[in-house]
């Protein structure tokens, strides 16, 4: 669905942010895009959305180069950035204006999502709080039924009940012909939702694997004491340690994405070795 090949990108007077970046994002999944501050997550999302242009290489979505923002491409993409502008119109006016650009837009679905988020069916967007605006834009984006939905820090500004509702809405809306790409630092808000896990660092794809493949190669265990060897990463917990190791038996807790991220960042070479056969495919 999304293909990035040998992409280079830099901002003026800065060294390359991406250097020969290559990546494939398939349909039917909710991809979690993770990385440290400054790793280029938001820039990558903007390149996919056609809002930033590669200096070299290309980014295509279902055959269209995203940089040209052709109508055929744009009707299949919706992007909710972390920082956004909402025009001083009512929700109904917004829907009337912008839904026309999306041929599969469903007003019925939109109202279902608004009800789930406990938002009114109308009201002036400029009078809404940041969190209410975000819930409306996410609801609208999902209701477009476009093939690519991009969300940058979607849980920021949402209260605890709304984060749970966000997970339910996205999980119910993904389908075999859609791809959701979510970038976040608040990984525990959506760790039960994202799969596969995509981590970028230093302009490269550091890790890009499904939870199924991760669970076949890594184990997470709660231990009273740290083992003498074989520890890829550990987190101190009340009463012991949460330890990630290369898998040796079937015993394992569910993968904690935040702990996995730290393991990948802090033990790159060993993680690369464990997943080397998949990285060649």
CATH class of 2-208: alpha beta
pLDDT of res. 253: 84
- Enumerate the domain spans of the chain: 2-208, 211-279
- Torsion sign (Cα): 43, 48, 51, 52: positive
Interval 17-39: pLDDT, tens: 998 999 999 999 999 999 999 89
The pTM assigned to this predicted structure is: 0.94
The span from the CA of 101 to the CA of 96, in Å, is 10
The span from the CA of 52 to the CA of 45, in Å, is 9
Interval 146-205: pLDDT, tens: 999 999 999 999 999 999 999 999 999 999 999 999 999 989 899 889 999 999 998 889
3-state secondary structure 99-156: HHHCCCCCHHHHHHHHHHCCCCCCCEHHHCCHHHHHHHHHHHHHHCCCCEEEEECCCC
Q: Kindly state the DSSP code that residue 250 receives in the 8-state scheme.
A: S
The span from the CA of 233 to the CA of 55, in Å, is 37
pLDDT of res. 147: 97
The span from the CA of 61 to the CA of 59, in Å, is 7
Instruction: Give the residue carrying structure tokens 């400054």.
Output: 38
Residue pLDDT tens, the chain, 281 long = 899 999 999 988 777 899 899 999 999 999 999 999 989 999 999 999 999 999 999 999 999 999 999 999 999 999 999 999 999 999 999 999 999 999 999 999 999 999 999 999 888 999 999 999 999 999 999 999 999 999 999 999 999 999 999 999 999 999 999 999 999 998 989 988 999 999 999 888 999 999 999 999 999 999 999 988 889 999 998 889 999 999 888 888 888 899 999 999 999 999 999 998 887 65
The span from the CA of 60 to the CA of 39, in Å, is 21
H/E element holding 193?
A: none
């Amino acid at each position: 669905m999304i293909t990035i090949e040998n992409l280079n990108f830099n901002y003026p007077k800065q060294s390359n942010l991406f250097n020969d970046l290559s990546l494939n994002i398939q349909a039917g999944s909710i991809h979690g895009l993770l990385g440290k501050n400054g790793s280029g997550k938001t820039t990558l999302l903007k390149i996919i959305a056609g809002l930033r242009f590669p200096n070299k290489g290309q980014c295509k979505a279902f055959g269209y180069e995203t940089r040209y923002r052709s109508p055929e491409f744009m009707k299949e993409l919706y992007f909710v950035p972390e920082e956004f502008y909402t025009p001083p119109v009512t929700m109904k006016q917004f829907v009337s204006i912008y839904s026309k650009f999306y041929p599969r837009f469903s007003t019925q679905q939109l109202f279902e999502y608004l009800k789930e988020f406990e938002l009114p069916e109308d009201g002036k967007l400029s009078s809404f709080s940041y969190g209410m605006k975000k819930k409306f834009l996410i609801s609208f984006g999902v209701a477009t039924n476009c093939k690519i939905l991009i969300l940058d820090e979607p849980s920021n500004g949402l209260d605890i009940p709304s984060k749970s509702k966000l997970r339910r809405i996205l999980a119910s809306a993904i389908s075999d012909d859609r791809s959701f790409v979510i970038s976040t630092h608040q990984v525990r808000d959506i760790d039960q939702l994202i799969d596969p896990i995509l981590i970028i660092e230093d302009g490269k794809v550091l890790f890009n694997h499904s939870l199924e493949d991760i669970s076949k190669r890594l184990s997470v265990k709660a231990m009273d004491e740290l083992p003498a060897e074989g520890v890829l990463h550990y987190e101190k917990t009340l009463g012991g340690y949460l330890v990630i190791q290369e898998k040796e038996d079937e015993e394992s807790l569910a993968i904690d994405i935040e702990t996995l991220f730290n393991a990948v960042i802090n033990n790159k070479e060993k993680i690369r070795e464990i997943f080397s056969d998949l990285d060649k495919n």
